A and B are shown apart, each in its own frame.
Chain A
Amino acid sequence: MPNIEGRATAITVLTPVKRGGPLLLWLVFWAGRNITQTLEKLEKLSFIHFARWAVIKRFPDENGGERLNHSYLIFESNFNGAWEQYIDAFSEVVRLRMQAIWGTSYGFPGPLPVEPFKAYIRHNEFVANHYYSAYAGATTTEIISAARVEPALEELKARAATMDAASFKVAFGEFLTKVQRDL
């Protein structure tokens, strides 16, 4: 199915940027990389695997790139869950950042109310003709949880080598308590 691979969903959006927008975007993204907590905010949206923005001033070709009347902003995201919920969460949790980024694009209605925002994304979205995930059955939360379970298990394994059965049963119970939120 286009845009969906297992539990992963693709979104690809391309929007024309207003005059002066590229400079504002340079500042917004510089701040996103260096000052503000944009990446931490995105981390809170615990269903995003990977996301990126890029500003296209020239569309690459064999002649140094094709320049249009406007620069373009490309956004791609890979997330688990439904498209509607993703846009809902985006408009709620990173509202100001979305305003700062897409506010430089023509036609952006603002992140709230969410229905015009969804219509805007749909209007500018391109469907993935082929989409692949190496672990399509896993959500972002499961991947991050699994990364916490593994070292805890290794620690238990190391300790278990010198334990008698009764001590091990206690240690195993402690291990489960420690990782229960990640299972």
Chain B
Amino acid sequence: MNHRRNTCGQAYALSVLTPIRDGQEAPLVRCLNDLPEGTGSPLASVAGTHIARWVVIGDVVYEGAGQRRPDHLSAGRLLFTSNFDGPLEPYLQRLCTGLAEVADRIWGHCSGYPGRADPGAFAAYLRSHQLECSLFFAAYGGRTVEQVEHSLTTRRDVIDFALRAQRMGAAELQSAFREVFAA
């Protein structure tokens, strides 16, 4: 695995493809669809996660007569991808602890999953099913989740303050600025 190919700035692209156990595809889809969204998502508890997803791939798609031969997977696959603040190893630990029992609920549908009780085995399982990126693009790969969130808050504060400040005199402006931005 060439980890540099999974990296853009400090951002890391994790792609994990695990085989789904026989007969477990529908329960897995239900499990994923039932997860809370937004700030309630279990991924919100995994620090450093910018954007991530789980995708159930039942089988590969056949392109029709132009394709030499059709393909079929012997087992469906669960794709997990995450764009996070690297490096990989601490993130795998954060996944194990942050997802907690949800990790078992999800990957428990997959063959060979060792469970999260042994964090080392959990990390090894994800690493052994990892894909290497051929090309990874991150528009703001130099910025951590914390930095992104902080600068977005600052930008909103500046916009709000600029609107409020339109009719302020010099002394009031300076005083209000010091108050809002702790200058």
Residues of A within 8 A of B112 (CB): 61-62
Closest to B16 in A: A60
Binds B, one of A81-89, A110-118, A129-137: A129-137
B57, A129: Cβ atoms closer than 8 Å = no
With A134-B148, A176-B162, A182-B155 in contact, do A50 and B83 touch (Cβ < 8 Å)?
A: yes
User: Could you tell me if B170 and A169 are in contact, using CB atoms closer than 8 angstroms?
Assistant: yes
Q: Does B94 contact A (CB under 8 A)?
A: no
Query: By the criterion CB–CB under 8 Å, are B152 and A12 in contact?
Result: no
Q: Please encode chain A, from 64 to 108, with 1 for each CB lying within 8 Å of some chain B CB and 0 for all others.
A: 001011101010101000000000000000000000000001110
> Helix, strand, loop or mixed for chain B's interface?
mixed
CB distance A132 to B44 under 8 Å? yes
Specify which of B57, B63, B143 lies most central, judged by the most chain A CB atoms within 10 Å of its CB: B63
Give the CA-CA distance A107 to B65 in the complex, in Å: 9
Band of interface residues on B: 35 or more
Number of interface residues of A (CB under 8 A): 82
Residue of A with least CB distance to B41? A132
Residues of A within 8 A of B158 (CB): 149, 153, 179, 183
Closest CB-CB distance, B145 to chain A, in whole Å? 5
Q: Are B181 and A134 in contact (CB under 8 A)?
A: no
Please state if A172 and B177 are interface contacts (CB–CB under 8 Å).
yes
> Do the beta carbons of B159 and A168 come within 8 Å of each other?
no
How many angstroms between the C-alpha atoms of A11 and B19 in the bound complex? 21
**A residues within 8 A CB of B132?**
54
Taking beta carbons and an 8 Å cutoff, which residues of B are in contact with A? 5, 8, 11, 13, 15, 17-19, 29, 32-33, 35, 37-38, 41, 43-44, 49-57, 60-64, 66-75, 77, 79, 81, 83, 111-112, 128-140, 143, 145, 147-152, 154-155, 158-159, 162, 165, 170-171, 173-174, 177-178, 181-183
Sort A-B residue pairs by CB-CB distance and give the 6 closest, nearest first. A107-B63, A129-B32, A146-B151, A146-B155, A165-B170, A132-B43
Q: Can you spell out 26 A-B residue pairs with CB atoms less than 8 angstroms apart?
A: A15-B63, A19-B68, A26-B134, A50-B11, A50-B139, A55-B134, A60-B19, A69-B68, A74-B15, A74-B79, A78-B83, A107-B64, A107-B66, A126-B56, A130-B37, A134-B49, A135-B148, A147-B147, A150-B150, A150-B155, A153-B181, A157-B181, A160-B177, A160-B178, A168-B170, A168-B174
Given contacts A6-B38, A52-B133, A129-B32, 10 further A-B contacts (CB under 8 A): A12-B53, A12-B79, A61-B111, A62-B112, A68-B71, A70-B71, A146-B151, A153-B154, A165-B173, A182-B155
